[in-house]
Amino acid sequence: MTGDLGATDATELAAWVAKGEVTPTELLDAALAAVEARNPALNAVVLMQEGVARRAIAEGLPQGPFRGVPFLIKDLGCEAVDFPSHNGSRLLANTTYARDSSIFARIKATGVVTFGRTTSPEGGIGAATESAVYGGPTRNPWSLEHTSGGSSGGAGAAVAAGIVAMAHGSDGGGSVRIPAASCGLFGFKPTRARLPDGPFAGEGWAGMAIDGFLTRSVRDTAVMLDACEGADLGAPYCAPPLDRGHAAAISHPPRRLRIGICDTTLTGDPIHPEVAEAVRAAGRLLESLGHRVEPALPRADVPMMMRAWTDIVGIGTALSIRAKIGNRAPRADEVEGVGRGAWAYAETLHPTRYLQAVGEIHAFGRQMAGFFDQGPDILLSATLAEPPARVGRFAHRTEDYVAYRTGPEGIFAYSPFCAIFNASGQPAASLPLAWSKGGLPIGVHLAAAFGQDELLIGLCAEVERASPWAGKRAPIAG
């Protein structure tokens, strides 16, 4: 049973349950056995609540599309009464909640059996998951010397290792797509406000952050998005309405599209040659499917966006720390180096800088909207500028928050594509279409115009059918 769980997507597992071929309890037992066997090497699954999961099964699961499928939620956000959280931080360890968040309530209604949380870096900052509160780094199932990505790094590792078929994540600067690229999975960031943020937050990082899912198949993501999409009560804004939904969109290929291809960064700098070739190979695949593929480079002020993103996230980090300890500086035994650096950096900013930075993000979104309006339907690039980094490279030891984000060896140099679409609010996805010579996954990134989630996920499904990745499994998954 454990082996089957590791090789099957959530849609198929739910079908087994519906047919009576397996029970939710048997699936949960298999997931727990996989945690016991694989998690010690990975450090991905934390705060287990086996009793909560067994009680949910005994009381009767909702008749949703994933009834009986084991599930994990990220240890950052996704607030839930039955699932205390560390939020990736010693300062916020063992936080409890008086009510469920809107996103968790919708996830729960799909019938999944949630039994724990997955690791996240402190504050959700970074392209690796190495938080002190968990006692060590989270490692990549494809190579334990490499990172599984961040900030949904535990989710990516758990799915790639075959512990669960699908897991919750969130994405404020690539935090679903980076682990997807690092772990050989599918990761989709919806249009801004497609999924609910309340009631614990009005918006995440000025609207740049949104929930999402790490999956093995496009159909799992499509069905889960349909189950969870839509504004919650009192939301400050909402995404454009869907036409037929994500699941309907993947039922047949989209119209033939104009694909803009970029095998450099979006500012024209070179990327790792194996990654650049993966982008070009994806372009050839799309051409073979009848799409028109042409070089493209957006005319948008990426450096301005990166500065604004860095300032907004730094201020948000400082606000979270201040809410817990007041006006004093955080101590080293409470907050890791990058978080302390973000707090100190935020203290140097003028009080008007936050609104100025939000305005710059909005201006950047209009620039990107103009690019898609006058140019391609889809922009094809890499997800990361190189294969997955080694463990320790993006640890949170440094207190130089700005260099950690935007320095020559920082996060934006490593991941120069993802945060662009958090800033613009446009949908974007990472597809596992290539592997390095060293056997590490390489993600290929597709992005569409604001609100065009159905077009994008329909294309992702077409690519999946043309170049299936389901048969590729990380060594630790067996």
Q: Which residues are catalytic?
A: 74, 151, 175
In DSSP terms, which residues pair with 294 in a beta bridge?
260
Contact 220, 9 (CB under 8 A): yes
Contact 213, 175 (CB under 8 A): no
Rounded distance between C-alpha atoms, residue 182 and residue 318, angstroms? 29
Q: Are 429 and 445 in contact, with CB atoms under 8 Å apart?
A: yes
Nearest-10 crossing angle of helices 24-42, 10-19: 150
Report which of 317, 307, 309, 323 is spatially closest to residue 341, judged by C-alpha positions: 317
Distance CA 389, CA 440 (A): 10
State the alpha helices, DSSP H only, in 270-382. Answer: 273-288, 302-325, 337-348, 353-374
How many Cβ atoms sit within 10 Å of the Cβ of residue 323? 9
Query: What is d(CA 209, CA 172) in angstroms, rounded to the nearest whole number?
Result: 4
Answer for the pair 439, 125: CB distance below 8 angstroms, yes or no: no
d(CA 198, CA 186): 26
Rg (CA), the chain: 20
Residue 266 phi, psi (nearest 5): -80, 0
Give, in order, the Cα–Cα distances in Å from 444 to each of 158, 180, 383: 21, 10, 5
Burial of 200 (0-12, 13-18, 19+ CB in 10 A): middle
Whole-angstrom CA distances from 61 to 55, 74, 165 are 10, 21, 18
CA distance 160 to 475: 9
CA dihedral 48, 50, 52, 54 (to 10 degrees): 160
